[in-house]
Amino acid sequence: MGAKTAVLAYADDAIAKLLQDVSTSEIDGAMALVARVRPGYRVDADDEEAWELADALYPPEGTVCALSASGLDLVCDQEVMLDRPSELPQHLVAASRGRRLYLHAMHSVVDWLAFAVWDDGKLVRSLSLSPDSGVIEDIGERLPFELPYWEGRHPVEPFPPFEDEEPYPLPFHPLELGERSLLEFFGFYVEGFSDEEDAPEPVVDIWSVGLHGFRVTAMAQDEAD
pLDDT the model gives residue 159: 67
CA dist 8 and 16 (Å) reads 14
Give every CB contact of residue 151 below 8 A, 6+ residues apart in sequence. Answer: 171
Contact 8, 103 (CB under 8 A): yes
pLDDT the model gives residue 223: 57
What CA–CA distances, in Å, run from 78 to 5, 23, 64, 218, 224?
Answer: 8, 26, 8, 15, 22
**DSSP H stretches of helix in the chain:** 15-21, 27-37, 53-56, 90-94, 147-150, 174-186, 221-224
pLDDT the model gives residue 1: 44
Bridge partners of residue 69, in order along the sequence: 72
Contact 56, 65 (CB under 8 A): yes
Q: What is the pLDDT along the chain (225 residues), one digit of tens a residue?
A: 479 999 999 999 999 999 998 866 789 999 999 999 999 999 999 987 789 999 999 999 999 999 999 999 999 999 999 999 999 999 999 999 999 999 999 999 999 999 999 999 999 999 999 999 999 999 999 999 999 999 999 998 876 656 656 788 999 999 999 999 999 999 999 987 766 656 677 899 999 999 999 999 998 555 555
CA dist 203 and 214 (Å) reads 27
What is the b/e burial string over 138-164, where b = at least 16 CB atoms within 10 angstroms of the residue's CB?
eeeeebeebeebeeeebebeeeeeeee
E strands within the chain? 4-11, 41-45, 51-52, 63-69, 72-76, 100-107, 112-119, 122-130, 134-139, 210-218
